[in-house]
């Protein structure tokens, strides 16, 4: 099978496409799950909160096949349960590594951050996504998309964001290398931009974030990556549709 054929197997939906999304009970993960469900994607959804995850399953099961696994992505037993579900559904066309932790709230300076908090941040934001991708590799179809959700805090120095930003920088480098090592996959590091989410509110307790856009504004970019032919790399979600158009027409964005 040539590269174009492999990608078409995802884009052209010659089978029912299946996505596994971590951190899918709220925020960007939930917004993407809803959008994919409307298009009939089978979904494997993960989140720590069992009740919130069940509410998502109740909502989306009317539209598509939804399998939920509640638990901590840093727990090997939980990752094994996700692996079992992916196998049961016959494989994955998309793996969206969205689950993460902010660390402490409010955000402390790096040198004031308890080392155990910093260690936990790296465990959830770096080690767990890599471990899950390792576990799921046999179930990723040729041409499958792997999307690691990152942040501009991975590339810019913001006061208070050192621990979280450092973990996202490590996540980005890990999956930049995965893209080189696994050319049969399309591996994207995606910065969704600032969004009105619970995590962002926790980063700034008491701050009014009502003017920030909802996570839904970043979903079209993720969908464009799932459906298009852009090469592996780092993208800002809200600029992806323009990049896809430019790649299609040959006009620089």
Residues marked as catalytic: 164
Is omega for the bond preceding 24 within 30 degrees of 0, making it cis? no
Dihedral (CA of 107, 109, 115, 120) sign: positive
Q: How many CB atoms lie within 10 A of CB 158?
A: 13
Burial (CB < 10 A; 0-12, 13-18, 19+), residue 109, is exposed
The answer to whether 19 and 41 are in contact (CB under 8 A) is yes
CA distances, 196 to each of 27, 99, 204, 239 (Å): 8, 16, 12, 18
The residue among 201, 176, 216 whose CA lies nearest residue 29 is 216
DSSP 216: G
């Amino acid at each position: 099978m040539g590269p174009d054929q492999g990608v078409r197997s995802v884009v052209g939906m010659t089978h029912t496409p299946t996505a596994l999304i971590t951190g899918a009970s709220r925020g960007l993960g939930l917004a993407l799950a809803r959008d994919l469900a409307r298009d009939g994607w089978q979904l494997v959804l993960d989140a720590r909160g069992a009740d919130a995850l069940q509410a998502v399953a109740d909502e989306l099961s009317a539209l598509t096949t939804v399998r939920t696994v509640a638990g901590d992505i840093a727990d090997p037993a939980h990752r094994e349960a996700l692996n079992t579900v992916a196998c049961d559904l016959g494989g994955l066309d998309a793996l969206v590594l969205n689950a993460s932790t902010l660390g402490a709230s409010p955000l402390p300076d790096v040198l004031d951050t308890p080392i155990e908090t910093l260690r936990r941040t790296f465990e959830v934001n770096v080690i767990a996504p890599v471990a899950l991708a390792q576990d799921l590799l046999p179930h990723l179809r040729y041409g499958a998309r792997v999307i690691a959700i990152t942040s501009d805090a991975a590339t810019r120095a913001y006061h208070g964001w050192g621990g979280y930003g450092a973990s996202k920088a490590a996540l980005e480098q890990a999956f930049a290398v995965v893209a080189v090592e696994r050319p049969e996959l399309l591996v994207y590091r995606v910065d969704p931009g600032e969004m009105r989410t619970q995590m962002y509110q926790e980063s700034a307790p008491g701050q009014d974030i009502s003017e920030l856009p909802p996570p839904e504004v970043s979903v079209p970019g993720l969908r464009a990556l799932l459906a298009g032919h852009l090469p592996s790399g780092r993208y800002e979600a809200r600029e992806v549709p323009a990049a896809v158009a430019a790649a299609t027409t040959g006009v620089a964005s």
